[in-house]
Amino acid sequence: MKYLKLTLVLMLSTSFVFAAEPIKPSAQSDNLPAALKALIDDDTAEVLRRINDLTPYQVPDLRLKQDTVYANTPVDYEPFGKIKPYKEHFLKQMEYTGPGRAIPEPGPELKTVKVGFIGPITSTVSVATGGKSHEEVLGVKMLQGAKLALEQGNAKGGYYRRNIPFELVVANDNGLWGSSGNTIINMAYKDNVWAILGTIDGANSHIAIRVALKAEVVMLNSGDTDPTFIETNIPWTMRCIGDDRQMGYLLMDYLIRDKKYKRIGIIRASNRYGRFGVRELNDSARRLQNPMKIEMAYKVGIDDFSLQLERMKEANLDAVIHWGDATESALILNQMRKMGMNQPYFTSDRSVSTEFTRLAGANAEGVISGFPWNPDHKDAKYDEFRKAFRERYDEEPETYAAHGYDGMNMLIWAIQVAGLNRAKVRDVLAYRTKPWPGVTHDIPFNAALDDLGEVYLAKFEGGSWKYYSRADLNIPGGYIPTRDRVNRLTGQIDPVKVEQGTELK
């Protein structure tokens, strides 16, 4: 495949490498239902033209996303400092070159179009989760959002090409090693789903997507914020929620650049969520020459954190960061305050919940969390979703419900547009040029197919959570295209007049 050389546009973090044949708007087929035509923009129509009618030995001539920087990483948060690495990963989109696009659609015997869901919805006990599972409250909400999206899809006519309904195939992610892989196998080969939404636990997600790679079925994640989830570079994997990397960068910008805290400590859960969630915090602080003074871990499920907190108290900290579930977050905060530890308290996004505020009580005032979106944003789509969710479940939606709703709608759109072919379902998502207009926010995919939408800081004040963007906080965006960065990536001179060494305030 031959590619044209693009001029690097520095004011954007993502560009495209176009195929030798320029992409032009394509006329939509007159044979398609009107409701389906409305879902296909010109760019998607061109992708479909390039992936339809291929033989098993042909690879489509498609554009690949090419990023100039990974995940909007600030210049001084990047590894290797000023040294040019031999290779930088995740900047160029992974390509699927297999024969799947030539697989014919099933015959008229098909009665429903199945979509898979895997998430923690039933309590279990396993070694993988460190004992009793603890993420069911999150998984149930994600399932509710996914169900609502599918029910609305059926109310609009189901699968337009055949006038048959969508069917949700639900499986519990029980935390047993290997169980997630078995679930994906069953969904792919027994249930014959066309795509899968899930899951939340980082370790299980990693297992599931490797099996999805072998089974060649799309797995869209709406609940796992582990930064390494997308770094597997599996072309069948994508995510529609901001991750701990993005939220970590914003937290570090706020704590170190804005508030000038020098002595910061971490207390975290001793599971994958806690361990991987704080990696970017540690790395970013160290690269800003302000390393964390102490990091303490605790076993999930305990209710006495005196050992960890006594050592943190001795460290004379300016601020404390917790990374774990909402219950432990509130218990730790309450115990800190009883011990006379009055430092500002920062947490992961799981603390933005009614469980945290109920347990923390008055101590919740002033707590700040990273958060992947702004639930207070004004948007007609979100208002309609909230209304429908309240009518369906008699409660307000939260973040896992909203992201599950967005993820399922993305899969339904892809199946409607691409037809009943897993590789084509993957293609229309992977090569989508416009951000997905979700209820959580516009969802743009970077080259690694990760959600690169804006993240926020949530602060509990006056009895409710308030959400602040970088602009609200007067913290400039993390990506600054300095001459050093461009030289390191391309060897070319930066045409934008930005002084080398520019720093964020």
Residue 379, pLDDT > 50, answer yes
Residue 478, pLDDT > 60, answer no
Residue 449, pLDDT > 70, answer yes
Q: Which residues of 228-255 are buried (b: 16+ CB within 10 A; e: fewer)?
A: bbbbeebbbbbbbbbbbbbbbbbbbbbb
Residue 59 is predicted with a pLDDT of 94
Cβ proximity of 367 and 360 under 8 Å: yes
Cβ proximity of 187 and 217 under 8 Å: yes
Mean local confidence (pLDDT), 7-32: 42
Instruction: Please state whether the peptide bond connecting residue 199 to the residue before it is cis, i.e. omega within 30 degrees of 0.
Output: yes
Contacts of 122 (CB under 8 A, 6+ apart): 136, 172, 174
Q: What is the pLDDT of residues 199-247, one digit of tens each?
A: 998 888 999 999 999 999 999 999 999 999 999 999 999 999 999 999 9
Mean local confidence (pLDDT), 357-362: 98
The distance from CA 225 to its chain's CA centroid, rounded to whole angstroms, is 6
Quickly state the pLDDT bin for 481 (edges 50, 70, 90): very low
Quickly state the pLDDT bin for 85 (edges 50, 70, 90): confident
Cβ proximity of 203 and 276 under 8 Å: no
Domains of the chain: 1-92 (no CATH), 100-241+380-443 (3.40.50.2300), 245-371+458-473 (3.40.50.2300)
Mean local confidence (pLDDT), 187-196: 97
Alpha carbons 279 and 14: distance in angstroms, whole number:
25
Least confident of 177-181, 265-269, 375-379, 478-482: 478-482
Residue 18 is predicted with a pLDDT of 35
Residue 429, pLDDT > 60, answer yes
More confident residue, 51 or 83: 51
Burial (CB < 10 A; 0-12, 13-18, 19+), residue 299, is exposed
AA letter at 52: N
Mean local confidence (pLDDT), 352-373: 98
Mean local confidence (pLDDT), 413-417: 98
The distance from CA 121 to its chain's CA centroid, rounded to whole angstroms, is 20
Residue 502, pLDDT > 70, answer no
Cβ proximity of 318 and 343 under 8 Å: yes
> DSSP alpha helices (H): ranges in 366-421?
380-393, 399-418
Residue 31 is predicted with a pLDDT of 78
Give φ, ψ of 177 to 5 degrees.
-60, 130
Residue 505, pLDDT > 70, answer no
Residue 152, pLDDT > 90, answer yes
Q: What is the pLDDT of residues 265-323, one digit of tens each?
A: 999 999 999 999 999 999 999 999 999 999 999 999 999 999 999 999 999 999 999 99
Residue 7 is predicted with a pLDDT of 32
Residue 256 DSSP class: I
Contacts of 61 (CB under 8 A, 6+ apart): 1, 19, 20, 21, 50
Q: Which of 321, 256, 276, 331 has its CA nearest to residue 300?
A: 331
Tokens of residue 242, six digits: 């901001």
Percent of the chain whose pLDDT exceeds 70:
86
Q: Which of 320, 328, 323, 377 has its CA nearest to residue 344?
A: 320
Question: What one-character-per-residue DSSP string does 36-88 give?
Answer: HHTT--HHHHHHHHHHTT--TT------EEEESSGGG--GGGSTTTTSPPS--
Residue 187 is predicted with a pLDDT of 97
AA letter at 162: R
Residue 485 is predicted with a pLDDT of 45
Residue 125, pLDDT > 70, answer no
Alpha carbons 481 and 479: distance in angstroms, whole number:
6
Mean local confidence (pLDDT), 258-266: 97
Give φ, ψ of 364 to 5 degrees.
-70, -20
CA distances from 338 to 58, 265, 335, 347, 360 (A): 67, 18, 5, 18, 12
Residue 501 is predicted with a pLDDT of 31
Residue 84, pLDDT > 90, answer no
Alpha carbons 237 and 220: distance in angstroms, whole number:
6
Percent of the chain whose pLDDT exceeds 90:
77
pTM above 0.85, yes or no: yes
Contacts of 289 (CB under 8 A, 6+ apart): none
Residue 63 is predicted with a pLDDT of 86
Contacts of 362 (CB under 8 A, 6+ apart): none
Mean local confidence (pLDDT), 32-46: 94
Q: What is the mean pLDDT of the chain?
A: 88
Mean local confidence (pLDDT), 394-401: 97
Alpha carbons 213 and 209: distance in angstroms, whole number:
6
Residue 472, pLDDT > 80, answer yes
The segment with the largest mean pLDDT, out of 125-134, 443-452, 490-499, is: 443-452
